[in-house]
């Protein structure tokens, strides 16, 4: 989009992403900031809803959290591009050198390792219609029948081998 200049680009003004573009060591991000974002003051709207409405009426792209998109009814169909950009750290603030720090880290590690975070995301963060995961559906019985045929064939082969072994074992006595 940057090279073709097909879309305008923006995000909520005053957000941490703004600093990422302004002072990024990556020259591409600084160029996007200078040449695209600053070109139109509407690209840094403090109102996220205004940015989303521009998606429906213009060739516009925005950087926004997935949580916002799945928690709202949008006025038009929106495509969520895959990938995470400028992933932010989430934490519980505690006083520096607090005796609780180790306890919090241990409990958070247990929660992550138990898969609770993934289950909560699946339950409370529904899939977008255009997300890469949205086209997955449960396998049907017809699609799974091949596996059952091989299982049945394996059982029959095992039975035949068992009968042959019994015959040969009886013949040696």
Is 131 within a domain?
yes
Q: Which domain holds residue 132?
A: 99-136
Entry pTM: 0.45
- Are residue 108 and residue 159 in the same domain, yes or no? no
Helix ranges (H only) for the chain are 16-22, 27-32, 48-57, 66-70, 101-113, 116-124, 141-172
The answer on 77 and 44 residing in a single domain is yes
| pLDDT for 173 | 62
- Report the alpha-carbon distance of residue 102 to residue 111 in Å, rounded: 14
If asked whether residues 123 and 161 sit together in one domain, one would say no
Query: Do 17 and 63 contact (CB within 8 A), yes or no?
Result: yes
Better pLDDT: 129 or 80: 80
Note whether residue 94 is domain-resident. no
Are residues 14 and 83 both part of a single domain?
Answer: yes
* Tens digit of each residue's pLDDT (9 = 90 or more) over 129-157: 545 555 566 778 887 888 889 999 999 99
- Are the CB atoms for 18 and 71 separated by under 8 Å? no
Cα separation, 3 vs 168, in Å, equals 77
Do 17 and 53 belong together in one domain? yes
**79 and 31 both lie in a single domain:** yes
Q: Is 27 part of a structural domain of the chain?
A: yes
Please check whether residues 13 and 84 belong to one and the same domain: yes
Report if residue 77 sits inside a domain. Answer: yes
Specify whether 69 is located in the same domain as 81: yes
* DSSP type of residue 131: S
According to DSSP, the residues that pair with 61 across neighbouring strands are 9
pLDDT digits (tens, 9 = 90+) for 21-76: 777 788 888 888 888 888 887 888 777 777 778 888 888 887 776 666 666 677 77
In this predicted structure, which of 6-15, 71-80, 103-112, 122-131 has the lowest mean pLDDT? Answer: 122-131
Q: How many domains does the chain have?
A: 3
Question: Both 75 and 18 in a single domain?
Answer: yes
Residue 1: inside a domain, yes or no? Answer: no
53 in a structural domain: yes
| Alpha-carbon separation of residue 90 from 84, 104, 108, 111, 142 (angstroms) | 15, 13, 11, 14, 44
* Same domain? 132 vs 143: no
| Per-residue pLDDT tens digits for 98-116 | 888 888 888 888 888 888 8
The answer to whether residue 3 is domain-embedded is no
What is the distance of C-alpha 142 from the center of its chain?
Answer: 30
One domain for residues 150 and 113: no
Direct distance between the N- and C-terminal alpha carbons of the chain, in angstroms, rounded to an integer: 82
- For residue 54, the model assigns a pLDDT of 81
Same structural domain, 13 and 72: yes
């Amino acid at each position: 989009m940057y090279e073709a200049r097909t879309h305008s680009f923006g995000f909520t003004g005053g957000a941490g992403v703004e600093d990422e573009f302004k002072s990024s060591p990556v020259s591409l991000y600084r160029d996007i900031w200078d040449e695209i974002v600053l070109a139109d003051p509407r690209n840094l709207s403090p109102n996220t809803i205004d940015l989303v409405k521009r998606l429906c009426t213009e060739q516009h792209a925005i950087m926004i959290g997935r949580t916002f998109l799945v928690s709202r009814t949008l006025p038009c169909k929106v495509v969520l591009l895959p990938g995470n950009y400028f992933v932010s750290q989430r934490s519980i603030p505690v006083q520096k050198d607090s005796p609780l720090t180790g306890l919090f880290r241990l409990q958070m590690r247990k929660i992550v390792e138990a898969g609770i975070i993934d289950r909560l995301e699946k339950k409370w963060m529904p899939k977008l219609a255009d997300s890469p995961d949205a086209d997955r559906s449960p396998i049907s019985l017809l699609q799974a029948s091949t596996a059952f045929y091989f299982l049945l064939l394996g059982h029959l082969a095992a039975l035949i081998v068992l009968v042959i072994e019994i015959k040969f074992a009886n013949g040696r006595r």
